[in-house]
Amino acid sequence: MSRPITAAGVLLLGFLCATRAQAAAPRPYAIVDTGQVRCYSAQAEIAFPKQGEAFYGQDAQYVANPPHYTDNGDGTVSDLVTGLMWQKDPGAKKTFSQAMAGAATCRVGGYADWRLPTIKELYSLILFSGTDPDPRSTNSATQRPFIDSSQFRFTYGDAGRNERLIDSQYATCTRYVSTTMRGNETMFGVNFADGRIKGYPVGAHRGRGEKSYYVMYVRGNADYGKNNFHDNGDGTVTDRATGLIWTQMDSGHLKAGKKADGTLTWPEALQWAEALTVAGHDDWRLPNVKELQSLLDYTRSPDTTKSAAIDPIFKVTAIRNEAGKPDAPCYWSSTTHAGVSRVSAAAYVAFGRSLGWMQDRRSGQYELMDVHGAGSQRSDPKVGDPSRFPRGRGPQGDVIRIGNYVRCVRGGGATRRTEAPPVQATPQGQGTGRPQNAGREPGGRGSDHPFMRREDRNGDGKVAREEFRGPPNHFDRFDRNKDGYLTEDEAPTGPPPHPGQRTAR
């Protein structure tokens, strides 16, 4: 015999239904998964580590909001996770001023409410199933872009227009509140060729006129990228927009690891996050790079607000950077920044200045400066000795720290992924076997081998054909595995080539 429902029961039932409806309602700021499904050690792809093992807890072992697109057949693509609609084909490159003005006249798909995306909107499209090319490489055949090229038209840089392979930067409307380089007005853009956020010039620079960018306009979900932080009063902060829960303090405040300053290598960061207990919860993890980027506040910077580029509800360890100036840290993500033949770097997000060593063309002297802005996403070697990179690495001499900070996360609908794809052999090691260069820090500027230190001019740990200054047939002879690069185990031990012997660029 059923019992009548009391007034209190009606209220309770109504509360439960409302709570369930709220829980089921889509988040206004759903963060699309990175698409990374493989696990890596510091040097090679590995089978999924088990809980308690080294390298457990990395990006591939957690999944939330897998990418889900619909091609609308009218020149637009809908992202069913974020609620954003995108222009499918970026078309010809535009200057920043053209990109800003062009949104008002864009009529793709018959819509008139297109806008230039914010950096958070554009970054929602990045996928870390891509491969980071050598900046000097000219061969895109073996590369994979950091965007779903089956849904969006993507083009690498055009060598016929004097562009590098990696010149596939996309513009946003997000301006840096400070400046980069030597006073450049700057906007943040995403490079879907090399998987980074950097600050790019918005006007004429270096006497070359205005730089141009690819542009994909966006419409829909005006709330995307807007955080809604709540201090839980227990050392944690909930972002009600994303559903993610964060530690209010970082590894510096929580005295992580063996170092007094709280900095960790990437393997240490994974291990520390998995072992952490805060506010009675022990399911903390190292955030993937898209989760971590969601914390950035692009209205703040060390130069303008004397703070990190993050909401002041969070506690940020104060540091002094390589120039001895007060600054904010870089934070590790759980995401490997993979190349075709290297998996030794992991992505980080800079909540302070993105420093780099730039060489003065006249004097030849190196100057340390903010090259990419507070709010960039770059990558560091997972392990190694930063002193081996005295002038950084890459085209802008990105400062290499290797010891970075950690802010842990939980929630957000993330579940553990247990099914892994078969391990692929890589030039640096066969699956879980010992890498050929194990124990050495990759990078010409971090190598003890004379040939590597001399020839690896971009410091990526290998010598491309374009960097090799000997006869072309010698390169082919040294390249024993025929992957188009020379690594330390393939490096010749004879005398250096004559300075006049250079391959064509």
Where is average pLDDT lowest: 116-120, 327-331, 341-345, 474-478? 474-478
Alpha-carbon distance of 294 to 292, in angstroms, equals 5
Residue partners of 308: CB distance under 8 A and separation at least 6:
300, 302, 314, 316, 328, 329, 351, 352, 374
The SS3 assignment for 21 reads helix
Q: pLDDT value at position 493? A: 63
Instruction: Flag the least confident range among 97-111, 168-182, 195-209.
Output: 195-209
Q: Quote the DSSP letter at residue 421.
A: P
Q: Average pLDDT in the 101-124 region? A: 98
pTM summary value: 0.82
Written as one letter, the residue type at 274 is E
pLDDT tens profile 4-20: 545 454 444 444 444 44
pLDDT band at 363 (very low <50, low <70, confident <90, very high): confident
At 438, is the pLDDT very low, low, confident or very high (cuts 50, 70, 90)? Answer: very low
Task: Calculate mean pLDDT across residues 35-52.
Answer: 96
Spatial CB neighbours of 479, under 8 Å, sequence gap ≥ 6: 485, 486, 490
For the cut 90, the answer to whether the pLDDT of residue 439 exceeds it is no
Interatomic CA distance for residues 357 and 372, integer angstroms: 11
More confidently predicted of 216 and 21: 216
Q: What pLDDT shows up at residue 426?
A: 54
Number of H helices, E strands in the chain: 7, 26
Are 213 and 96 a contacting pair, CB within 8 Å? yes
Res 253 pLDDT > 60: yes
Read off the tokens for 1.
């015999």
Q: Which residue has the higher pLDDT, 260 or 39?
A: 39
Question: What dihedral angle (degrees, nearest 10) is formed by the CA atoms of 73, 127, 252, 403?
Answer: -150
What does the pLDDT average to over 342-364?
A: 94
The amino acid at residue 62 is Y
Q: Is the pLDDT of residue 259 over 60?
A: yes
Q: Which residue has the higher pLDDT, 3 or 471?
A: 471
Average pLDDT, the chain: 87
Tokens of 476: 């082919």
pLDDT in tens, 322-352: 999 999 999 999 999 999 889 999 999 999 9
Q: In this model, does residue 153 exceed pLDDT 70? A: yes
Asked which of 91-105, 245-259, 317-331 is least confident by mean pLDDT, the reply is 245-259
- Least confident among 147-161, 181-195, 241-255, 415-429: 415-429
Percent of the chain residues topping a pLDDT of 70: 83
Given a cut of 60, whether residue 445 has pLDDT beyond it is no
| Per-residue CA distances from 316 to 280, 349, 389, 403 (Å) | 22, 14, 26, 16
Query: How far is residue 37's CA from residue 90's CA, in Å, rounded to a whole number?
Result: 28
For residue 24, what pLDDT is reported? 45
Is the separation of the CB atoms in 167 and 154 below 8 Å? Answer: no
Q: Name 404's bridge partners.
A: 264
* Of 255 and 337, more confident: 337
Count of beta carbons in the 10 Å neighbourhood of residue 174? 26
Q: What is the pLDDT of residue 419?
A: 83
Q: Tell me how long the chain is.
A: 505
- CA 364, 322, 297, 379 dihedral sign is positive
Q: Best-predicted range by mean pLDDT among 70-84, 203-217, 450-464?
A: 70-84
